[in-house]
Structure 1
Amino acid sequence: MLRTATTLAGQLTRQPEFSGREVSRRLMGRLPFTPRIVAARLGADSSLVGIGALTAEHVRDATYLR
C-alpha cells in the first residue's frame, strides 16, 4: 500500500506537532486514509524556495531581448 505524506509549510511549521495533529484530526473521516503529516525542512521559507524553483524551471529556456 502506498503511504502518502502531506507537507506543512509557511507559518504552520512554527508549531509542527500542534499543526500536524490538528490537520490530521480534521482530515480523519473525510479521506479513506489519513496521510502522514510532516513539517517542511525549510520552514517558513519553503514556499518562497518552491516558487523560485518553479519560476526558474518556467523561464529556463526563455530568451529575453531588450
Structure 2
Amino acid sequence: MFRDLLHEEIAALTARIESTPRYTGAEDSEGIRLRGQRGEACQLLARLTARYPELDGPGPARG
C-alpha cells in the first residue's frame, strides 16, 4: 500500500514539475522545490524496495 502511495506521489509531483514554467524567477524556485520532493519520494521508494524486494515491480495501474 505504501509503495503504491509513493508511486502516486511521484507521478503527481512529476506532473506538477512538467506544468511549472521554467527559468522565470519565483516559478523556477517552485520547480526546484518540487524536484527535491520528488527526489525524496524516489529515495523512500528505493529504500522500501531494498528492504522488501518482493515489493519491487510495477506501480498501480493508471487509468
Fold equivalence (TM over 0.5):
no
Tell me the TM-score normalized by structure 1. Answer: 0.30
TM-score (structure 2 length as normaliser): 0.31
Higher helix share goes to which structure? 2
